[in-house]
Structures are given as C-alpha cells and as structure tokens.
C-alpha cells in the first residue's frame, strides 16, 4: 500500500492554511483508497507543549488512515542555484512518502543546491517545492507541476500568481524564482536563483 505525507506549518502552536491541507488529504484518500469519510486534521493535530513556539513542521504519514504524526523545529534550506534535469520518467501526482525517483534526480544537481525538473519540455518543480517565476512585475507558476501543492493552490486563489506553460528557453526572461511550499512564507522565499 502506498503511503502519503502531509506537511503542515505550525506557527506558535497554530496550524496554518489547514483548509488546503484538508482538501488535499481528503482528495488523496478518496482517489487512491476509495475513502469518502473525512478525518478532520484540525481534531488530530494536537501540538505538543515543546513545539508551541516558533515555526514547526508537522508531518502526517497516512494511507487510508493516519499512521503517525511527527514534529520538528523548522529551519528553511538556503537555495541559491538550481540545476535543470529531465523528469520525463517521474510521476508524482500525490505527495507520496516514497520520493526515490526524485532522490535519483537530485544526484544530477552537481554543485547546485537543488534541481528544477523539466517534464515533457516544460518547467515543473524543484525537489521539494513548486515554483513561481518573476518577470519583475508578475509571478507565473507552471500550469502542469508534478505535484500541485497547497501553497500554490492558495496563492492562485488569492491572485498572487498566474498559470503559464514555461519552457527552459523561457527562463532567460525571468529575474528570480520563488519557492512555494507549506513551510515557506511568501515574503521570505523569494530568491535570486541561478539556473544552470
């Protein structure tokens, strides 16, 4: 049976943007396991006293049911360079616990901090985040990511980012890359990223 992961940012004891996590959690359980009955994450997330302050990563492992909930203090990774890699053979429509295919692609990053995957000729994601690219005035996110993340869904709903098909050749027209995932804040995750 495949296992999935839901990663939720906890800030000062509060789970952030839980509606988007609940939706993805419910969708995955329905599509993969045929389960329509909800498990309400808000009821299951009981933040331990030792993790009530600062930014904390809550990692939920589940299949048909929740198997475990883990907690750890969070420090964002510093990403300043991305290596383009071909991900035509990778399929990651759900947030699977098994990331072995992505780990293999990470071996191709050379001296770069992370990878930027290209599938069917289009930019998709880094190894751990969706992306949005800035032309100096607007942000565009790939219309066909490997995994449609919760942060990406929220920013699209809020009108902060726009969908676009982006090829490697298009990258020359962008100034910076914004890394998008549940643990990164919009204000702090804009990086002047070197693309190799």
Give me the helix-helix angle, 18-33 and 150-157, nearest 10°. Answer: 120
pLDDT at position 195 is 60
**Token duo for residue 17:** 């943007």
Return the closest-CA partner of residue 179 out of 169, 165, 193: 193
pLDDT at position 189 is 62
Domain 4-73 in CATH 3.40.640.10? The answer is no
* Domain boundaries of the chain, sorted by first residue: 4-73, 81-195
pLDDT at position 109 is 96
Q: Class of the 81-195 domain?
A: alpha beta
Mind giving me the DSSP string for 167-179? Answer: -GGGGGG-SEEEE
Given a cut of 50, the residues of the chain with pLDDT beneath it are none
- CB contact set of 135 (below 8 Å; sequence gap of 6+): 173, 174, 175
């Amino acid at each position: 049976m495949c296992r999935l992961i839901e990663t939720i940012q906890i800030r000062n004891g509060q789970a952030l943007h839980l509606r988007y996590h609940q939706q993805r959690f419910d969708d995955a359980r329905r599509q993969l396991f045929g389960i329509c009955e909800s498990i309400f994450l808000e009821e299951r997330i009981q933040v331990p006293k030792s993790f009530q302050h600062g930014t904390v990563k809550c990692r939920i492992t589940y299949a048909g049911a929740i198997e475990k909930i883990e907690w750890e203090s969070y420090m964002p990774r510093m990403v300043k360079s991305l290596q383009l890699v071909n991900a035509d053979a990778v399929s990651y429509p759900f947030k699977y616990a098994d990331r072995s295919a992505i780990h293999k692609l990470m071996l191709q990053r050379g001296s770069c901090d992370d990878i930027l995957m290209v599938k069917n000729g289009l930019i998709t994601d880094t190894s751990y985040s969706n992306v949005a690219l800035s032309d100096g005035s607007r942000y565009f996110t790939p219309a066909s990511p490997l995994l449609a993340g919760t942060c990406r869904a929220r920013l699209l709903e809020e009108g902060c980012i726009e969908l676009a098909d982006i090829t490697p050749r298009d990258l020359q027209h962008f100034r910076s890359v914004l890394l998008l995932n549940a643990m990164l804040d919009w204000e702090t995750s804009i990086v002047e990223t070197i693309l190799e």
